[in-house]
Amino acid sequence: MKHHHFNTATLLSLAGLSVRALNVCARLGCKTVGDLADIFRLKGAYAVMATPNCGKKTLEELLTVAGASMADAPALEWKAEHRPKARKRIAIVDHHPVTREGLAQWIRNEPDLEVCCKAATAEQGLDAAAAMKPDLLLTDISMPGKDGLAFIKDLHATQPKLPVLVISMHEESVYAERAIRAGARGYVMKHEGDNKVVQAIRRLLDGGIYLSDALSSRILEHFFRYPNGSSPFIAKPFKSPDTLHAAPTSFAVAGDAV
């Protein structure tokens, strides 16, 4: 790779770089044009290309500033495995605007996640999920009109492979099992904070199920109570969260009252 000699005291900010290119330089720890040239010389173009938000246009810009060009690096091939991974797209369905924005901000703080759509009702959520094809959907149990459990059932019927994570203020011991039976793959209480929510999102994106340790243990206990194949997740009618005051406090299983 050919290089021009630059004064290492020349700041990158004076080299006419775009904001995106400057951000890539910051991630690489480059403060001068000389630093950037050294990155290409010592680590090669792949190291720069693997930096988040470094697309082909940005790489060409940095190569030019560093005194190189695409022609000077014939081994550079744009293969999919060398490109930064696309961000996972998250849909949010919650009728509280403050909650929607709070969840969105937690997701935006993660470099590999992004919010693709937000909705306030079940009907809007179904339309948004169908149009935007998210990788995962967050929803609450309580919503105006169709409640969250019915929404999850409808969503599971139309998009059975879409992971759904419930983020709710309602007690997990009362509604988590019902949400799972409806088609959700995880349940987190709203008060648990951003770390738990992000942890749950990643678990579902990896193909897993997320419940609290206490509820997971309780589920296992029920499976041991029904060794002949009876499952605690046998579909049965469930009450709306609007009747929370009348909901049982026990974990509903086959043969238990609902």
The tens digit of pLDDT for each residue in 161-183 reads 999 999 988 777 678 888 988 99
Per-residue pLDDT at 167: 92
Rounded to the nearest 10°, the torsion over CA 246, 251, 255, 258 is 20
Of residues 211 and 124, more confidently modeled: 124
Rounded to the nearest 10°, the torsion over CA 14, 20, 29, 5 is -40
Which tens digits make up the pLDDT trace of 35-66? 888 877 777 776 677 787 787 788 888 888 88
Of the chain, the percentage scoring pLDDT greater than 90 comes to 34
How far apart, in whole angstroms, are the C-alpha atoms of residue 188 and residue 119?
19
Per-residue pLDDT at 11: 53
Average pLDDT of the residues of the chain: 75
pLDDT beyond 80 at 153:
yes
Q: In the beta sheet, which residues pair with residue 186?
A: 165, 210
Q: How far apart are the first and last CA of the chain?
A: 71
Does this model's pTM top 0.85? My answer is: no
Per-residue pLDDT at 118: 93
Of residues 230 and 115, more confidently modeled: 115
Superfamily of domain 88-235: Response regulator (3.40.50.2300)
Domains of the chain, by residue range, sit at: 12-82, 88-235
Which tens digits make up the pLDDT trace of 126-146? 999 999 999 999 999 888 888
How far apart, in whole angstroms, are the C-alpha atoms of residue 144 and residue 247?
19
